[in-house]
Structure 1
Amino acid sequence: MIKTYAYGFPRLGKQREFKRLIEGFWAGKVTEEELLTGIEKLNKKREESYAAHVDNFPRGEMTLYDPMLDTALILGLYRAESLEEYFQLCRGKNALEMTKWFNTNYHYLVPDFEGKRPQFKATVPVWDRHKGVKRNAHLIGPLTFLKLSKNLPEGAFGELLKEVAKTLVDYAVERGFESIHLDDPAFVLELSKEEWKAVEEAYGEFERFPGDVNLFTYYDSVDNLAGLFELPVSGVGVDLVHDRGENLKQLKTVEPGGKKLFAGVIDGRNVWRADLTAKRALLAELAERFEVVATNAAPLFHLPVSLAGATLPEGLLEKVAFAEEKLKELSLIAKGSDQELNSWSKGVGSSFGELKEVRERVQNLKEEDFERKPAYSERVKKQQEVLKLPLFPTTTIGSFPQTEEVRRVRLLYRKGKLSQEDYDTFIRGEIAKAIQIQEELGLDVFVHGEFERTDMVEFFAEKMKGIATTGNGWVISYGTRCYRPPIIYGDVDREGPMTIKEIAFAQSLTDKPVKGMLTGPVTIIAWSFVREDIPTEEVAYQIALALKDEIADYEKAGIKIVQIDEPAIREKAPIKRRNWDDYFRWAVRSFRLCHSSVKPETQIHTHMCYSEFGEIMEYILQMDFDVISIEATRSKGDIIEAFEKVNFDRQIGLGVWDIHSPYVPTVEEMKEIVERALKVIPKENFWINPDCGLKTRRWEEVIPALRNLVALAKELREEQ
């Protein structure tokens, strides 16, 4: 019988218990004892889910915020003597930078070696995730920890890698672990020969560990899979779903060396049910050369916990599987009859929700549909004539605080307990308040506040054909912040105008320009579970055409600025750069398709956050926007380096306020970021704005921070 293994089960809980416990502790409503007891109970439920379906799983996966931070504390890179100090590293004034975990929508905290040549020492942190753990102790691997850290001392990679590996082994030995589950997905990166040599030397440290070490990679293929099997480990986990067939090809020639193969055959990143008959056949083929264990490809925390409570259209439910159902798929592969496998997978691969007119519209696209005229140098003059913005214009990214009252009223409306008329009246009232606050603060470009929007993707999903929302399908994005990814199951089109009512009302209340706010096609795809029966490129063009129609309605309503948010354009990129050109070709074209036919005087903005911009600058420049706003606070303005190397002729707003923290920055702290930027970016092209939307913050934080932001702009105008 096939052995089964699973990892990465969501920590969130079916009722978001994780979020309520942690945020309750932050608010002083949950004691430390209650927090730790609650987390222990939640983790027990997780492990019970594993045990009900699979033969084995890792222990010690549970974190209070992020596993990379936990690893940094285990290594002694940071110290936290209390939970308050632990959370200060997550969300306080000195919080670590946050960025995307590989090409996913999970954000991790970035260990920073700036100014440090650490003396690593195995440490039991204040949050002891391995308390009572002996078997399959979960650890982040040394390569992933270092490759995803920043500001490593020059030339010290190999030495540091060996020290990290040694410290992890010291920690494992001192804790008395009997076996280790080692998550080291950085092996799917394009590693140099020098890096592989450093890996071989560093991994030699694991020879000191007396028990099994099972190494797991995922999200893509490993370029040197044979080298991975030669490391001193007991088993190797590979992704056989997202590997483009490359791992499978290498496995045909790799020498097993007596090591187990953890075959990742069940998709941990998308919700579609697997063809279990085909998966079982693949495992049987691999079993001719390896001792095979069936497992998931990628951690399951990218999925909602369970289909229980999900609200899906008729016909879709039997096509999808969330985390618990993925465990069931592993169980069925091992123990199910042929009839059970066929019954489970009967809807796999079939089309659902086809719209002939949408397909034809995409097929009839011409090259001119992706080109905006006139050139930026001409249209920027017309935009300034219309908008008459001052030097250092101020704005926000889009959303304003979603108070308990806003969430309460929206919930009543969604449950049918509030009429459309009463709901619209409430939303207009909130918009009016937001416009008044912006007037009083003296901002230059306004937003309507997005009080009607639960989420920047889910909101549009609810108004488009071919996309389903899940009801209770929550997934963690970072820390305790969670969202509900929609499911793109069919051809996509607007039901009708999606946002015009609220934006036009906001514009009617002020003479200042109000931005129309849209989420771009790549981000809608990246933060959804996308269909796999047609190319993703075609899905992107379908969404772009729907947004194109929405922008045309904006212009008819007199909206002069439109922001198309694409915060996910970098995260969606393939992990291996050799695959970037094809991805960015359609990603950039889908963005351009949205705005290619707008008037010259309509100003197009975009927003991106927490990405390595220097890596993708050549592609960003091809998007042909007029203004871009980006994060710059947690990176301390390091992003400016990306703009020092190119001729960036567009306008840019660097985020001067980290909205992921409750801390209110001073004018001086914001100015420090701006002054460095102005050495590279002409003052005529510089906007002042926060890092991201403000929906998760409180008005008591937002108003003083925005007041400081406006004061900064006025001070800069006087100086310039």
Structure 2
Amino acid sequence: MIQAANLGFPRIGIKRELKKATEAYWKGEIDYTALRKAGAELRARHWRLQKEAGIDVIPSNDFSFYDQMLDAVAMVGAVPPRFRTSQEGVRVVATHQTASAYAVMADVAELSADEAASIDFDTYFAMARGSDAAPAMEMTKWFDTNYHYIVPEFHEGQAFRLVSTKALDEFNEAKALGIHTRPVLIGPVTFLSLGKAKDANLDPLTLLDALLPVYAEVLASLAAAGADWVQIDEPILALDLKDSQKAAFEAAYAALSSCGVKILIAAYFDKLGSNLDVVRSLPVDGLHVDLVRAPGQLEDVLKDWPWERLLSLGVIDGRNIWRADLETAFATVETAVAARGKGGVQIAPSCSLIHTPVDLNTEQKLDAELKSWLAYARQKLTEVAALKTAATKCKDAAAQAFADSAEAVASRAASARINNPAVKARVGAVTEKDLDRGAPFNTRQAQQRARLDLPAFPTTTIGSFPQTEAVRKARAAFKRGEMDAPSYDAFLMTATEDAVRRQEEIGLDVLVHGEFERNDMVEYFGEQLAGFAFTQNGWVQSYGSRYVKPPIIFGDVSRPHPMTVAWSSYAQSLTEKPMKGMLTGPVTILQWSFVRDDQPRSETCKQIALAIRDEVSDLERAGIPIIQIDEPALREGLPLRHADWEAYLAWAVDCFRLAAAGAGTETQIHTHMCYCEFNDIMPSIAALDADVISIETSRSDMELLESFSGFKYPNEIGPGVYDIHSPRCPHTQDMSALLGKAREHLAPDQIWVNPDCGLKTRRW
């Protein structure tokens, strides 16, 4: 019969229990045993929740204390040499039954087959966060999402060994609770393809033969424990594959097909396209496809995917929070069932639900109309179950669910809150002239240098300063009504002045006001823009214990009033040094929100750009000489298929220029980007025509600058010399060495000096 399946569930907990537990562990407030217990409680709760929602196929090993790619690194022993312990001759230990939570090989190239060293939670977290002794592993965006993963590192002679039994442990853990799960693994080809070679001539795919025995051992152990299916996530199937990757798929699954379990390959985030031919040739038992991001691929999949193999239909959106149109989703299911019969079909979300908040029932302040349009992870599972009921029995068996869905769809379409004719008319009137700064960079640069009178290698920081406990308490008290507006403003003014004085004492050349009035770089702006709504508990994981609460863009966007001018003006009044006005760019606001799906994203982005343009003009009129428009999500929004890049980059660049071109030529426009690869989009980065761009380069050891120097990027650049996402405080010589590497790529008069990102998460 048709089954209701899930690919992954949010690991964070309905009250952000995972964040609280991991951060308490990092602070030394709880020990390993308490952290392990917190994880077990979350897993048990989530498995039961999915079962109660009517899900037949429930995932395990989708939980992580930090990141699923980091877990894969631990599983196969691919621990970078700088994190390996000096112990030798210690046997590999299991992960949940002993004091070593993630046991991994140490110095696998040198130890014998019977020798290893175990690495505990501290080393696991050190790989992600860094330590006094070693900088963290690189971190970058998971495809085109705002989730960050830890990038595996590979060396010549890399060896692998199964040294973490996490996948088996969690399968058995669920089994002990009476819940039979489908374990989830990151696929070997995706794992190697998303990793980074640390030796110049190494192609990570050449390590496949060494890696596959570990995967085979994992699958065999799961089969022995009673697992019948394993879900292997291979999201790189949504990309344009190289011939070497296609060959790697053939080799990998030829080796893994006889390990005693059935394999479901999960592909998501875009269409398979020609990669369908690759998957069809593999000796696997099932395929999951994303029919939300790529509904048009169903016809080809039904025609080409063998009827005797399982087909999982991703028909419920795993990346956005809008309630499903069950009638439309059911039509897709009916088409598949008509072609394949009920026995070969599963109904599922489009991808793992880690990209959505946990439970809409926790939202007490959203108005009833808007709330009726939404579905969080728990509600999406009930949608999957309703579709299964309708397909297995009849639609009448799920009549209430379908009626509620139809009512929500009709309500949203007819709501007067969504459409603003004046906004649409303004977007329609935009011309090429509105995108032009009015003078070329060289002319602007001369005017700005005359105005700012900055020294060589000017120093600044990205924007935010520590959101201390006092800041958070004051904001919470203000929101609860326990602190009145004048008292809250007085507190913020004191915090801002303190930040200005600290920067003056340190000797920074260009100052920032610290952003103490802001909760989040997107949420703060969305709260002041028409067309946005906000949640109490719409948390999703960005990386590690960093969770964000994306705003909801439900209608046309406009700016009713200035948003930042008062705080920037106040800060500038405190100092003779230039103060940066700090704004979030239109593409980033778009990418880091839950965006309406009833009009093109490009249209929504243009509306946001015009709102930011108005703010730029007001800041300039207030005398702010430098305005930073952050666009860390520009690269993240790039479509996965090369054929779609040109159209996206055209409107994304235009939106930034539309926002920035409200400034005169003497006003210096900065932008900031972090944790992304620039190589393929350098012409578009240059086309932004920002006067100064600051980028993350400390984790990548200035490697990103090769893109800029190779392109002969003409404008000024602030390469980050301080990794603010790590608790590690770099030594002066570390930063000096990075700056020296920057000088190998850039002309001295191009270089600014700054951290990688804002300092919000650090302590003073």
Q: TM-score, normalised by structure 1?
A: 0.94
Please state whether the residue corresponding to 2:313 is helix, strand or coil.
strand
SS at match of 2:501: helix
Instruction: State the shift of 1:364 in Å.
Output: 1.0
Residue 682 of structure 1, aligned match among 747, 751, 761? 747
- The superposition leaves residues 85-106 of structure 1 with CA deviations (integer Å, 9 ceiling, x where unpaired) of 1111111233110000011000
Is 1:656 paired with 2:717? no
| Contact 2:25–2:35 (8 Å) recurs in 1 | yes
Q: Which amino acid aligns with 1:319?
A: W
Is the deviation greater in 309-318 or in 283-292? 309-318
The alignment partner of 2:135 has SS state of coil
Structure-to-structure mapping, 1:185-334, within 5 angstroms: 185-223=235-273, 224-243=275-294, 245=296, 247-290=297-340, 291-310=344-363, 311-334=365-388
* 2:403 equivalent to 1:342: yes
CA distance in 1, matches of 2:425, 2:367: 25
User: Shift in Å at residue 342 of structure 1?
Assistant: 2.7
Q: Does 1:85 align with 2:119?
A: no
1:314 is displaced (CA, Å) by: 4.4
Secondary structure (helix, strand or coil) at the match of 1:418 reads coil
One-letter amino acid matched to 1:631? E
Show the counterpart of 1:702. none
Indicate conservation of the 8 Å contact 1:161/1:199, yes or no: no
SS in 1 for 2:753: strand
Partner residue, 2:193: 147
1:64 equivalent in alignment to 2:73 = no
Given that residues 276 and 342 in structure 1 are in contact (C-alpha distance below 8 angstroms), is that contact kept between their aligned partners in structure 2? Answer: no
Which deviates more from structure 2 when the two are superposed, residues 443-452 or residues 118-127?
118-127
Could you tell me whether the CA contact under 8 Å between 1:220 and 1:244 is conserved in 2?
no
1:35 aligns with 2:35: yes
Does the CA-based 8 Å contact 2:197-2:204 persist in structure 1? no
Give the whole-Å Cα distance in 1 for the aligned partners of 2:387 and 2:141: 32
Deviations 1:109-137 (A, max 9, x none): 00111x43212112226898636257422
State the AA in 1 paired with 2:164: V
Is 2:171 aligned against 1:117?
A: no
Q: Which of 384, 390, 408 is the equivalent residue of 2:455?
A: 390
1:533 is paired with a residue of what secondary structure? Answer: coil
Listed one character per residue, the Cα deviations across residues 548-574 of structure 1 (whole Å, up to 9, x for unaligned) are 111111011110000000000001111
- Corresponding position of 2:548: 483
CA 1:508–1:157 in structure 2 vs 1: closer, same or farther (change >3 Å)?
closer
Alignment match, 2:109: none
Q: Are the structure 2 counterparts of residues 697 and 152 from structure 1 closer, same or farther at C-alpha, using a change threshold of 3 Å?
A: closer
CA drift of 1:150 comes to 0.7
Q: Shift in Å at residue 627 of structure 1?
A: 0.1
1:169 aligns with 2:219: no
- What's the CA shift string for 1:297-343, capped at 9, x where partnerless? 01101001111232324421111111111101111112253453132
- Cα distance, 1:31 vs. partner? 1.4
User: Residues of 2 paired with 1:477 and 1:4: CA distance?
Assistant: 27
CA contact (8 A) 2:146 2:592 kept: yes
Asked if 1 retains the 8 angstrom alpha-carbon contact of 2:193 and 2:205, the reply is no
CA contact (8 A) 2:558 2:611 kept: yes
- Contact preservation (8 Å) 1:447, 1:515: yes
Residues 220, 243 of structure 1: 8 Å contact kept: yes
Kindly indicate whether the alpha-carbon contact (under 8 Å) linking 1:229 and 1:259 is maintained by their aligned counterparts in 2.
Answer: no
2:464 pairs with 1:379: no
CA distance in 2, matches of 1:441, 1:234: 62
Q: 2:137 aligns with which of 81, 84, 96?
A: 96
| Cα deviation 1:463-494 (Å, max 9, x = unaligned) | 11100111111110000100100100001111
State the distance in 2 between where 1:150 and 1:545 align: 39
Q: Which runs of 5+ in 1 are unaligned?
A: 700-720
CA distance in 1, matches of 2:756, 2:157: 30
The answer on whether the counterparts of 1:162 and 1:198 sit within 8 Å (CA) in structure 2 is: no
2:4 aligned partner: 4
8 Å Cα contact 1:76/1:121 also seen in 2: yes
CA drift of 1:138 comes to: 1.5
Q: 8 Å contact 2:462–2:754 — kept in the other structure?
A: yes
Does residue 530 of structure 1 match 2:530?
A: no
On the 8 A contact 1:237/1:263 being kept in 2, the answer is yes
Would you say how many aligned residue pairs link Structure 1 and Structure 2?
697
Amino acid at match of 1:451: F
Post-superposition Cα deviations, 1:478-517, rounded to whole Å, max 9, x if no partner, equal 0010010010000111121111111110000000011000
User: Please, what is the CA RMSD of the aligned residues?
Assistant: 1.6
Deviations 1:54-79 (A, max 9, x none): 11111121111111111111111113
Letter of the aligned partner of 1:253 in structure 2? K
Name the structure 1 match of 2:93.
Answer: none
CA distance in 1 between counterparts of 2:128 and 2:494 reads 35
- CA distances 1:27-71 after superposition (whole Å, capped 9, x unpaired): 011111111111100111111121112111111211111111111
Cα distance in 2 for partners of 1:157, 1:631 equals: 24
State, as a whole percentage, how many aligned pairs show the same letter. 41
SS in 2 for 1:58: strand
Structure 1 contact 431–506 (Cα < 8 Å) conserved: yes
Tell me the distance in 2 between the aligned counterparts of 1:567 and 1:607: 6
Contact 1:313–1:468 (8 Å) recurs in 2: no
Letter in structure 1 aligned against 2:398: S
Does the aligned pair in 1 maintain the 2:168–2:221 contact within 8 Å? no
Partner AA of 1:100 in structure 2:
K
CA 501–621 in structure 1, closer or farther in 2 if over 3 Å, else same: same
Q: Is the 8 A contact 1:73 1:125 kept in 2?
A: no
Distance 1:411 1:129, change over 3 A: farther
Are 1:138 and 2:189 an aligned pair? no
Q: Which residue of 2 aligns with 1:714?
A: none
Q: Which moved more, 1:649-658 or 1:78-87?
A: 78-87
Q: Is the 8 A contact 2:195 2:204 kept in 1?
A: no
Bigger drift between 509-518 and 2-11 goes to 2-11
**CA–CA distance in structure 1, aligned partners of residues 272 and 167 of structure 2:** 33
2:384 maps to a residue whose letter is L
